């Protein structure tokens, strides 16, 4: 059946994608891998939810089978949540269909068999418009569309054959050393302007008063190893959308800024008045964080 | 000897890009570089080739300008390099790029493993490895942070959103690695000098018989402009700045 097909391994994002697809006025079908996932997204207006039954625990291995299924259904568009698994499976499907695909769209509009999209380029420094025609694939990050409850969907089982060449040895849950920054309301970000690891304590003092979580730039996590890699903010790390983002000694490289552009208010503290972070900030203090942080902490405590 | 191929892209250094007042983009004075994460992929190819007792080779699809990249990548421990030279590379989409790379991989004999970075620093689309796998119908493993070889099997650890997943595959296969897999060493002077003497093979797209027309139609490219208030607190002393900032944040309703 023609229409927009949606898959995401994260239920909340799947609901956002269904609402997007529904809004575009097409028939909407969702793919899931469990009855439980299907039930979680049952009230978001899909015309039908397919529960894929197969014998492989690595869901990416269904890429080829999903491509064939979409072709047989005469699908118009395959919309996938931009998670690590989602991006993989989406690109595999696009590869097997040999069709166009846009990754991590900033926006998407589907009309007359074409999908008009925008995506980031050059680490977030530029925005590129891209149009896809015919059966195509897009991946969509969280927060681009609002999930809206709608009619309840029928659930149907779908048997697909997986490619069993990649076998699962084991799965270990990641022990989250830090918090999920993407959900944080306030974030303090540490950059290379901080002199030593012990000084994170000073930032933590400010974070405690503010009720903020601590994040960092890529260099702090990957070069200095001061904080876990899950805590770095940027295009290849955490994409955050807090009410308040406050940076300490962050220069503001474009890849970092790509991770904070949806913050409501951006505050920057850095010694270098020419640092690009100030152009991206709502409020800036040109100064030494070692002087500013205690003053700010005190002011907040007393206010 | 079996080959481990590292795919890489020669890209514009975004740090040199200028965004004009009208948001048009000026890259005339921009230098190019090996895409950042591709350097980690190249190091992974060098290390895995050692484990396999094979050769590590580079493969790129680029315009004539990509010629400059060859010495750079060969100084990073690779044995040989392959370059698909076509001006169409400048406008290629992910489908064309993967199809061209896949066609070249078919021509390069005795390939046991293809390693890509997750994404390129210009597009960061993260499509190439899965698409190459599809084009060659090879198994694919993405988001890889560790690779080990056990007999004929490759064991990979994948870093996903909430778990580490260890998977196994018989070679040949396609792998996309995360940058943390290997640190990128700085090439020694000896390696830089030796790079010029290593074999380079150039392919022309005619030899590959691949359609170079992009399926994704690229439209306008504009500089991204983030509209912000840009208020710099310029009170005389830092204590006043701190007080002013807290006032502003209260007014914004964010504290």
DSSP state, residue A57: S
The confidence score (pLDDT) of residue A55 equals 85
Q: What percent of chain A has pLDDT over 90?
A: 91
Which of B189, B6, B173 lies closest to B81, judged by CA? Answer: B6
Query: Has residue B162 got a pLDDT over 90?
Result: no
128-147 in chain B: CB under 8 A from chain A: 128-135, 137, 139-143
Mean pLDDT of B105-113: 96
Given a cut of 90, whether residue B125 has pLDDT beyond it is yes
pLDDT tens digits, one per residue of A90-117: 999 999 999 999 999 999 999 989 999 9
Share of chain B above pLDDT 70, in %: 100
Nearest CB neighbour to A282, from listed B134, B219, B229:
B229
For the segment B40-44, the average pLDDT, to the nearest whole number, is 98
User: Which pTM does this prediction carry?
Assistant: 0.91
Residue A178 clears pLDDT 80, i.e. is over it: no
Q: Lowest mean pLDDT of A121-125, A159-163, B38-42, B214-218, name the range.
A: A121-125
Q: What is the DSSP string of A98-150?
A: T--EE-SEEEEEEETTEEEEEEEEGGGTEEEEEEEESSEEEEE-TTSS-----
Distance CA B184, CA A190 (A): 24
pLDDT exceeds 80 at position A176:
no
pLDDT in tens, B5-15: 999 999 999 98
Please say if the pLDDT value at position A205 is more than 80: yes
Cross-chain CB nearest to A92 (options B130, B165, B254): B130
The pLDDT tens digits for A291-302 are 999 999 999 999
CB atoms < 10 A from the CB of B64, how many? 11
Q: Which of B226, B242, B249 sits opposite A292 (nearest CB)?
A: B242
Mean per-residue pLDDT of chain B: 96
pLDDT band for position B81 (cuts 50, 70, 90)? very high
Best interface-test mutation with A: which of B19, B175, B215 has the largest number of A CBs within 10 A?
A: B215
pLDDT digits (tens, 9 = 90+) for B137-153: 999 999 999 999 999 89
| A79-89 average pLDDT score | 97
Helices (H), A152-244: 200-210, 218-222
In this structure, are residues A162 and A62 in contact, taking their beta carbons and an 8 Å threshold?
yes
Cβ A123–B229 below 8 Å, yes or no? no
Q: What is the pLDDT of residues A3-30, one digit of tens each?
A: 999 999 999 999 999 999 999 889 999 9
pLDDT, one tens digit per residue, over A147-164 is 999 999 999 999 999 999
Q: Which one-letter DSSP state was computed for residue A83? A: S
| Separation CA A273–CA A271 (nearest Å) | 6
Mean pLDDT for B166-182 is: 96
pLDDT of residue A32: 97
What pLDDT is attached to residue B65? 95
Query: Is residue B73 reached through a cis peptide bond, with omega within 30 degrees of 0 on the bond before it?
Result: no
Name the 3-class secondary structure at A270: strand
For residue B225, what pLDDT band results from cuts at 50, 70 and 90? Answer: confident
**Which residues on adjacent β-strands are paired with residue B229?**
none
State yes or no: pLDDT of B1 exceeds 90. no
Determine contact: B186 vs chain A, CB below 8 A.
no
Q: Which residue of B has its CA nearest to A281?
A: B230
């Amino acid at each position: 059946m023609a229409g927009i097909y949606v898959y995401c391994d994260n239920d909340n994002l799947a609901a956002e994608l269904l609402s997007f697809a529904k809004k575009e006025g097409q028939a909407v079908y969702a793919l899931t891998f469990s009855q439980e996932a299907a039930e979680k997204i049952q009230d978001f207006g899909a015309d039908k939810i397919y529960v894929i039954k197969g014998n492989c625990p690595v869901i990416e291995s269904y890429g080829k089978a999903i491509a064939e299924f979409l072709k047989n259904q005469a699908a118009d568009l395959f919309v996938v949540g931009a998670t690590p698994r989602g991006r993989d499976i989406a690109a595999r499907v696009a590869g097997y269909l040999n069709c166009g695909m846009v990754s991590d769209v900033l926006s998407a509009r589907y009309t007359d068999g074409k999908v008009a999209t925008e995506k980031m380029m050059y680490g977030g420094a530029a925005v590129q418009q891209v149009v896809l025609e015919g059966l195509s694939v897009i991946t969509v990050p969280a927060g681009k569309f609002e999930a809206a409850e709608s009619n309840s969907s029928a659930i149907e089982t779908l048997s697909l054959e997986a490619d069993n060449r990649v076998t699962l040895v084991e799965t270990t849950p990641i022990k989250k050393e830090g918090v999920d920054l993407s959900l944080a309301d306030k974030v303090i970000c540490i950059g290379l302007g901080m002199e030593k690891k012990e000084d994170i304590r000073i930032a933590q003092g400010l974070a405690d008063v503010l009720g903020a979580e601590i994040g960092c730039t890529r260099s702090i996590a990957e070069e200095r190893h001061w904080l876990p890699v899950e805590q770095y903010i940027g295009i290849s790390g955490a994409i955050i959308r807090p009410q308040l983002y406050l940076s300490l000694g962050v220069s503001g490289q474009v890849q970092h800024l790509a991770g904070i552009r949806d913050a409501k208010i951006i505050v920057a503290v850095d010694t270098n008045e020419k640092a690009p972070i100030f152009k991206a900030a709502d409020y800036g203090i040109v100064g030494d964080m070692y002087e500013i942080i205690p003053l700010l902490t005190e002011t907040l405590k007393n206010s | 000897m079996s080959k481990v191929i590292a795919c890489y892209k020669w890209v514009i250094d975004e740090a040199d890009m200028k965004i004009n007042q009208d948001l048009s983009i000026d890259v005339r004075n921009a230098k190019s570089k090996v895409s950042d994460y591709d350097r980690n992929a190249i190091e992974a190819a060098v290390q895995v080739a050692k484990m396999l007792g094979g050769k590590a080779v580079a493969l790129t699809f680029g315009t004539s300008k990509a010629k400059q990249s060859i010495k750079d990548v060969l100084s990073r421990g690779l044995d040989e390099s392959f370059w698909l030279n076509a001006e169409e590379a400048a406008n290629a989409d992910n489908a064309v790029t993967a199809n061209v790379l896949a066609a070249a991989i078919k021509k390069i004999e005795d390939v046991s493993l293809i390693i890509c970075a997750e994404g390129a620093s210009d597009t960061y689309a993260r499509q190439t490895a899965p698409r190459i796998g599809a084009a060659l119908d090879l198994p694919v493993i993405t988001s890889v942070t560790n690779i080990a070889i056990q007999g004929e099997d490759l064991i990979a650890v994948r870093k996903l959103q909430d778990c580490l997943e260890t998977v196994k595959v018989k070679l040949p296969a396609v792998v996309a690695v995360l940058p943390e897999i290997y640190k990128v060493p700085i090439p020694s002077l000896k390696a830089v000098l030796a790079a010029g003497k290593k074999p380079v093979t150039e392919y022309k797209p005619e030899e590959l018989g691949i359609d170079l027309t992009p399926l994704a139609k690229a439209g306008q490219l504009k500089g991204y402009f983030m509209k912000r208030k840009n208020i710099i607190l310029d009170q005389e002393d830092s204590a006043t700045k701190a007080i002013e900032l807290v006032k502003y944040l209260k007014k914004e309703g964010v504290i």
